[in-house]
């Protein structure tokens, strides 16, 4: 299994972010119900003054965007037999300013009560997808992924995927990621001196217990990164034919270079590429990476760049719902 195949296997889970997946469906429904409850949509005292009428409304975009959230809204509105939702675009589709996204027809009170919640979902997800595609083009062929700074959890991940990004882990059960606080606990418990020793200890503890999974470890120093490579190879692969980590129980190692400078990452990747086993290690850079400095990171040689800005700072798409 080559590196690109491993990246797709462990870092791209968009196939699970479909309404047909019961877990994702439950997440979408839970968020939708929470939004409606918070908005007291069932008690829209303004809409109650209107006589019940059948109306038609259009949702349009006021800017060029990548559409996202269409599948979710289409599914959620099926729970309201008094209205119908007719989509005009699909998730991941590029649409121009002024284009129609969907038509909603039916009971006027229901449409008005749901209006803001519908728009909030479409605007947030489309905003994330639009920003992701913009950054994906700047980074190509390096992959971009979100972090866990995802207020809407799986819906944010789905939006990133719609824009062409990786999903990374979907939740805490979806792959092993050893971060700084895990390492600090191990360091304290075992009286270890530095990151190099702690990384070695962590991987020696975990690797014998896992198969067919992804393990990622966060490092802040070159010594820690080299220790991870050495330990992964010797502890997990040394006894295997050819000694190639890519053939070792389908377990892959990703090293997260956290809060490094772009220059330090670039120099490290050049150095580590002289290691015959470097081709089997996935390198991810993270920490203070955003649109303003992305081009510098695209030249570092890493495989994945993860950025919290994809989901915690993306601007909502400018959409409107208008009665026809």
CATH number at residue 22: 3.90.1170.20
3-state secondary structure 51-77: CCCEEEEEEEECCCEECCCHHHHHHHH
- Tell me the pTM: 0.92
Which helix or strand (DSSP H or E) is residue 296 part of? helix 294-298
Residues 7, 18 share a domain? no
Q: What CATH number should be reported for the domain holding residue 228?
A: 3.20.20.70
Residues 153, 294 share a domain? yes
Q: Could you tell me the pLDDT band of residue 176, with boundaries at 50, 70 and 90?
A: very high
E runs forming strands in the chain = 54-61, 65-66, 83-87, 94-95, 100-107, 143-145, 176-178, 214-219, 252-258, 282-286, 304-306, 319-323
Residues 308, 211 share a domain? yes
Residues 224, 145 share a domain? yes
Q: How many structural domains compose the chain?
A: 2
pLDDT tens digits, residue range 288-302?
888 888 888 999 999
**Cβ neighbours of residue 324 under 8 Å, at least 6 residues apart?**
55, 56, 57, 58
pLDDT tens digits, residue range 179-209?
999 999 999 999 999 999 999 999 999 999 8
Residues 258, 120 share a domain? no
Q: Whole domain around residue 238: which residue ranges?
A: 3-11+138-312
Residues 161, 126 share a domain? no
> Residue 219 pairs with which residues in a beta bridge?
257
Residues 207, 98 share a domain? no
- The gap from C-alpha 309 to its chain's centroid, in whole angstroms, comes to 11
Residues 148, 96 share a domain? no
Residues 181, 56 share a domain? no
Residues 194, 95 share a domain? no
What backbone torsions phi and psi does residue 133 show, to the nearest 5 degrees?
A: -65, -40
Q: For 65-81, what is the mean pLDDT?
A: 98
pLDDT tens digits, residue range 23-55?
999 999 999 999 999 999 999 999 989 998 999
Residues 142, 112 share a domain? no
Residues 251, 149 share a domain? yes
Q: Answer whether 301's CB lies under 8 Å from 266's CB.
A: yes
* Structure tokens belonging to residue 257: 């270079």
CB-based burial label for 48 (10 Å; 0-12, 13-18, 19+): exposed
What is the predicted pLDDT for the residue at 247? 46
244 pLDDT above the threshold of 70: no
């Amino acid at each position: 299994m080559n590196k690109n195949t491993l990246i797709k296997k462990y870092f791209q889970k968009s196939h699970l972010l479909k309404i047909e997946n019961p877990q994702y469906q439950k997440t979408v429904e839970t968020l939708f119900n929470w939004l409606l409850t918070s908005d007291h949509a069932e008690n829209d005292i303004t809409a109650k003054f209107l006589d019940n009428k059948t109306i038609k409304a259009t949702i349009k975009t006021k800017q060029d965007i990548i559409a996202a959230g269409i599948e979710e809204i289409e599914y959620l509105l099926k729970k309201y037999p008094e209205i119908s939702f007719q989509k005009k675009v699909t998730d991941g589709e590029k649409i121009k300013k002024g284009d129609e996204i969907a038509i909603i027809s039916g009971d006027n009170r229901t449409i008005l009560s749901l209006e803001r919640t519908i728009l909030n979902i479409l605007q947030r997800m489309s905003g994330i997808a639009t920003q992701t595609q913009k950054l994906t083009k700047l980074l190509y062929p390096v992959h971009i992924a979100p972090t866990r700074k995802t207020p809407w959890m799986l819906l944010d991940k789905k939006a990133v995927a719609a824009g062409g990004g990786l999903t990374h882990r979907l939740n805490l059960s979806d792959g092993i990621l050893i971060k700084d606080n895990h390492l600090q606990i191990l360091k304290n418990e075992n009286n270890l001196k530095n990151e190099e020793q702690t990384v070695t200890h962590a991987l020696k503890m975990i690797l014998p217990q896992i198969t067919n999974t992804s393990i990622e470890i966060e490092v802040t120093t070159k010594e820690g990164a080299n220790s991870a490579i050495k330990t992964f190879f010797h502890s997990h692969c040394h006894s295997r034919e050819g000694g190639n980590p890519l053939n070792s129980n389908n377990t892959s190692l990703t090293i997260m270079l956290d809060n490094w400078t772009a220059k330090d990452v670039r120099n490290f990747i050049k150095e580590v590429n002289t290691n015959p086993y470097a081709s089997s290690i996935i390198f991810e850079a993270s920490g203070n990476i955003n649109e303003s400095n992305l081009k510098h990171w695209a030249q570092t040689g890493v495989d994945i760049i993860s950025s919290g800005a994809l989901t915690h700072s993306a601007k909502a798409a400018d959409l409107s719902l208008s009665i026809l």
